[in-house]
Every structure is written in structure tokens, then in C-alpha cells.
Amino acid sequence: MMDYDYELDTFGLSCPVPILKVKEEFENIPDGSVLKVTASDDGIIEDLKSYCKKTGHEFLSYEVNPPEYIVFVKKGSVQNSVSGLKF
């Protein structure tokens, strides 16, 4: 398992709520922090890849242990983020 700075549990939540929770968490943690996201929605992997690409954050890795999906993402700098992104 990868080292991380913060953890977000979105288990039981359906799309787009996990991505919205990640966006909210990124607003409250320092740039460069690694966030571990736990989800039950298998779409979290592709959704977070897309979200990171569009917002300047970094998709690091993922683990699949059904019914749990664990994704590690790194918060990019504020200057690289796109504000007002909607899903």
C-alpha cells in the first residue's frame, strides 16, 4: 500500500458524489498532499483519472479489493487547478 497524508471514505456513495467529495477535500488540504480515497463504486478509478487530468492533480495508483476500490491521488498546486469544474 502506498503512503498517504489524508484519507477520504466514500464507500457506499454513488457517482458523482465521490468526485465531489474529493474536490471538497482538495480545497482543505495542502498542495502536494497524497489523498487515499476508498470507494465502493467501480467508476471511481476512471472518474478520478479524468478529474485529475482536467484539474492538474496527479492520479498515482489504485487497488481493487472487491467490493472496495482504493485510489491514491496527489493534490496539484492551486495555479494548476481549474476552478468551477462541473460534473
- 67 in a domain, yes or no? yes
- The tally of domains found in the chain comes to 1
**pLDDT in the model for residue 87:** 46
Report yes or no on 87 lying in a domain: no
pLDDT in tens, the chain (87 residues): 799 999 999 999 998 999 999 999 999 999 999 999 999 999 999 999 999 999 999 999 999 999 999 999 999 986 544 444 554
Whether omega for the bond prior to residue 16 falls within 30 degrees of 0, making it cis, is: yes
pLDDT at 1: 78
Q: So which residues are the catalytic ones? A: 15
Domain containing 50: what range?
A: 6-79
Distance in angstroms (rounded) separating the CA atoms of residues 67 and 28 = 28
Tell me, yes or no, whether 75 lies in a domain: yes
Asked if residue 86 is part of any domain, the answer here is no
The rounded distance, in Å, linking the Cα atoms of 67 and 50 is 22
